Amino acid sequence: MLIIENQSLKKYNTFGIDVSARYFTEVTRQEKFQQVLEHFSAETTPHLILGAGSNLLFTNNFEGLVIKVSLKGIDITEENEQEVLVKVAAGEDWDQFVSHCVEQGWGGLENLSLIPGQVGSSPIQNIGAYGVEMKDCFESLKAFEKSTGNTKTFIASDCQFGYRDSIFKREAHGKYVIVSVSFRLSKKSHVLQLGYGAIQAELQQQGILQPGISDVRRVVCNIRRSKLPDPAVTGNAGSFFKNPVVGLHQYEILKRDYPLLVAFPDKGGMKLAAGWLIEKAGWKGYRDGDAGVHPLQALVLVNYGKATGQNILRLAEKIKESVANKFGVKLETEVNIIS
């Protein structure tokens, strides 16, 4: 077990924030978690479980232990003519896994192409895009319980999935380390999710009348690349804010005042496009030093080079205040703030 002191985390977070961890270790085998925790009790040393660092913002050095999860492996555990159950280690890259599924002809996750991060993080956030959420194909996960050293299985109902939410962001926060996730995917009769206009428009432009899962993946990748910055070039963590959900009455008032308001039906009312709200509040393309709002997608905050986490966070707070004042809508961060 290699423990590194004062490890720079700049290359371990997609914002490229230059902070350090007091202690750092990388875990490539599940049994190593117990060894790490025997040396560093959570009661005396704060722990941070780190995947690809694609959904967090460091605002200070982390005065504790960062555990980088690097478990690998993709295994078929069940299979028949119609579907396949695939168990994926937490350290696998999410988009590489989706690409693998499409290459194998397994349908269900193609709309979630090019989302940054690792597989182990996907249930925590219940990642989603273009009408699909991770929970739609989720079967179960296995997690290491830090207090006991035991491995526990969670099925979908245990995870309490919601919009960009799960039990692991609430009452189970910090208590478990996800080690693998299992997905049930289709092999035949794929039900494609093509409801989003951007997907339909791209398919039409390419003259694809009967798309398959590979077509959907390619189109989604094209759309995301055209709108979202590459973290390897410009530091960012994707969508910084959640799309807020408002009641029908508030929606009708907003729609009356802003006829071009972008919104989608939701079981709690109407889900508003946070990017549209931010853009109409005047923030799209805004820059303050090296902290900014992406010029093509207002939902994405960016680090143009030397912005600190505090710089990004201050900008986010200004945006939230501005949107609340203009629309009466409260924005919530999708990115985890690590202070």
Give the residue numbers annotated as catalytic, written as ranges: 164, 239, 334
Q: CB of 106 within 8 A of CB of 190?
A: no
Q: How far apart are CA 172 and CA 166, in angstroms?
A: 9
* Phi, psi for 307 (deg, rounded to 5): -65, 145
Distance CA 258, CA 228 (A): 26
Is residue 76 within 8 A of residue 86, CB to CB? The reply is yes
Q: To which residue do tokens 């969670």 refer?
A: 154
C-alpha span between 108 and 92 (Å, rounded): 18
- Burial class from Cβ neighbours inside 10 Å (0-12, 13-18, 19+) for residue 184 reads middle
- Whole-angstrom CA distances from 65 to 18, 94, 135, 240 are 17, 24, 30, 25
Residue where the block lists tokens 């200070």: 60
